[in-house]
Structure 1
């Protein structure tokens, strides 16, 4: 199975609380991290693939190696193979550390790395996955899955925010628990319902 997420921001203390940008009602980053890990692992199996569209973690502990070790320890608890697309808060040092500590999961490595984006085909559509929202113009059957903007949505029907804070879960009948990567079926439902929503406005 394939799953999709973004903007987990593990360890990011400044996001704790009830802000408009990224409401994270947790008392500590440990609570937030544990919630994401538990909800992730309830859905994702060891052989599944999760596309993480950037902003994995923010931890300014010094020396830097200690921060990288802690981030690796969290990511290594997550089920599945992680296809990591670099976000604006993801350093080259993090990707380099993860590459150095990569290990097999089944027939593949735990981590796969991309600087800009990944294009996949899924159920007669193409999904271009990036960290930043992309303005693709008038296109048929191409959807941009992205993160970066947290509790906001791009007012374009071909753009779907898959971050953990996304408001586009309003298009789903049942909102998954915080931090749960979105399933293929949920992505398709968001795409279909957003298109219907925008058609009503015209």
Structure 2
């Protein structure tokens, strides 16, 4: 699970000062790709909780996605409008490991995980109350970067 990678976002360090400083966006993108591929194998499944890229050109986003290992599912974030506009393209193009650039793209997902015998509710934004919150279901969100929402229950940024 990941969120808020902000590929091609030159000002992300202003919002997240702990973010490693880079000389340019290309250097940052290369670092993120390298770190992703050191962590994620082609056999892994990744759920990305949004704000994948600030690139305004879908071909630039394709160049990044095509190099990332694994089966990649995207939950839309508030900065994923280019991906939203070209969703069919990103689902239909295959990358180096044989998976689609994005295996699924949606605003919200309820995901049953048999490994923990529980359900996760995935959404870009923190939700005060989510489906299953009183049944012990977990809520995973992004958007806040290094901050944590003041939410009672099983919520994780």
TM band (smaller chain): 0.7 to 0.9
Question: Do the aligned residues in 2 keep the contact of 1:128 with 1:144 (CA within 8 Å)?
Answer: yes
Provide the rounded CA distance (Å) in 2 between the counterparts of 1:100 and 1:124: 32
Question: Do the aligned residues in 2 keep the contact of 1:68 with 1:97 (CA within 8 Å)?
Answer: no
**Number of residue-to-residue matches in the alignment:** 148
1:11 to 5, 8, 12: 8
Q: Flag the structure with larger Rg.
A: 1
1:30 corresponds to 2:16:
no
2:63 to 64, 73, 97: 73
Q: Please report how far the alpha carbon of residue 22 of structure 1 lies from its aligned counterpart in structure 2 after TM superposition.
A: 1.9
**Which protein, 1 or 2, shows the higher relative CO under an 8 Å CA cutoff with sep ≥ 6?**
1
Q: Please report how far the alpha carbon of residue 28 of structure 1 lies from its aligned counterpart in structure 2 after TM superposition.
A: 1.2
Provide the rounded CA distance (Å) in 1 between the counterparts of 2:34 and 2:9: 18
TM-score norm. by structure 1 comes to: 0.66
Q: Please report how far the alpha carbon of residue 111 of structure 1 lies from its aligned counterpart in structure 2 after TM superposition.
A: 1.8
TM-score norm. by structure 2 comes to: 0.83
Deviation digits for residues 16-60 of structure 1 (CA, Å, limit 9, x no counterpart): x3x3x3233222111211111111111111111100111110123
Provide the rounded CA distance (Å) in 2 between the counterparts of 1:153 and 1:94: 31
1:125 to 110, 113, 118: 118
Question: 1:31 is paired with a residue of what secondary structure?
Answer: helix
Q: Please report how far the alpha carbon of residue 136 of structure 1 lies from its aligned counterpart in structure 2 after TM superposition.
A: 1.6
Counterpart position of 1:149:
144
1:115 to 106, 113, 122: 106
Unmatched 5+ residue regions in structure 1?
A: 61-66, 162-202
Q: Please report how far the alpha carbon of residue 110 of structure 1 lies from its aligned counterpart in structure 2 after TM superposition.
A: 4.2
Question: Do the aligned residues in 2 keep the contact of 1:84 with 1:111 (CA within 8 Å)?
Answer: yes
Question: Do the aligned residues in 2 keep the contact of 1:8 with 1:56 (CA within 8 Å)?
Answer: yes
RMSD, aligned CA: 2.1
Structure 1's consecutive aligned runs of 4 or more residues displaced over 3 angstroms after TM superposition are 102-106
Question: Do the aligned residues in 2 keep the contact of 1:55 with 1:86 (CA within 8 Å)?
Answer: yes
Provide the rounded CA distance (Å) in 1 between the counterparts of 2:55 and 2:3: 17
